[in-house]
């Protein structure tokens, strides 16, 4: 829910219509790679939906592609909440939740249910939110 509240929720509060008509609860099932299926990273799915809500389709597509490419090559997480003792970062080389999380837990010798893995996903969510806001701010002025 972090990306949804951070993007749609912020515009709902600051701009109002039409963003106050998006129920951010609809994105709840995006976590865990869509209903815990470990497919597309849910943060990317919400951010892509947001881009589609603020840009025309012809403009949205390259922005979404740029975000996906960034995610595959970025050393994540960038954001440090202070709750990940190891500070481990990894490059996913994929937009899939499974690939991204698997590389991280292997690099940090964690189990999927470990709190540090959950904190890592929350930090990546913050990174995706920040990234797309920066790209859109640059594009929209």
CB atoms within 10 A of CB 114: 13
Q: Which domain holds residue 66?
A: 2-140
CB atoms within 10 A of CB 36: 11
Residue whose pair of structure tokens reads 């099932």 in the numeric block: 29
Give me the torsion for CA of 127, 121, 38, 94, rounded to 10°.
Answer: 40
Residue 76's SS3 state is: strand
Whether the full predicted model's pTM is greater than 0.75, yes or no, is yes
Q: How many domains does the chain have?
A: 1
**Which pLDDT score, from 0 to 100, does residue 83 have?**
82
> Is the dihedral angle over the CA atoms 27, 33, 34, 40 positive or is it negative?
positive
Report phi then psi at 86, rounded to 5. Answer: -75, -30
Determine the Cα–Cα distance for residues 89 and 108; give it in Å rounded to an integer: 9
Q: For the CA atoms of the chain, what is the radius of gyration? A: 15
Low-confidence ranges of the chain (pLDDT < 70): 1
């Amino acid at each position: 829910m972090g990306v949804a509240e951070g993007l749609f929720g912020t515009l709902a509060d600051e701009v109002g219509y039409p963003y106050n008509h998006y129920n951010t609860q609809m994105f709840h099932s995006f976590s865990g790679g869509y209903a815990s299926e470990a497919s597309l990273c849910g943060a990317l799915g919400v951010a892509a939906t947001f881009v589609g809500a603020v840009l025309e389709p012809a403009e949205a597509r390259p922005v979404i592609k740029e975000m996906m490419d960034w995610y595959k090559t970025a050393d994540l997480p960038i954001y440090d909440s202070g709750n990940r003792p190891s500070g481990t970062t990894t490059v996913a080389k994929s937009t899939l939740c499974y690939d991204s999380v698997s590389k991280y837990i292997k690099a940090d010798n964690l189990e999927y249910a470990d709190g540090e893995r959950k904190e890592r996903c929350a930090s990546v969510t913050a990174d995706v939110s920040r990234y797309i806001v920066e790209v859109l701010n640059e594009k929209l002025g």
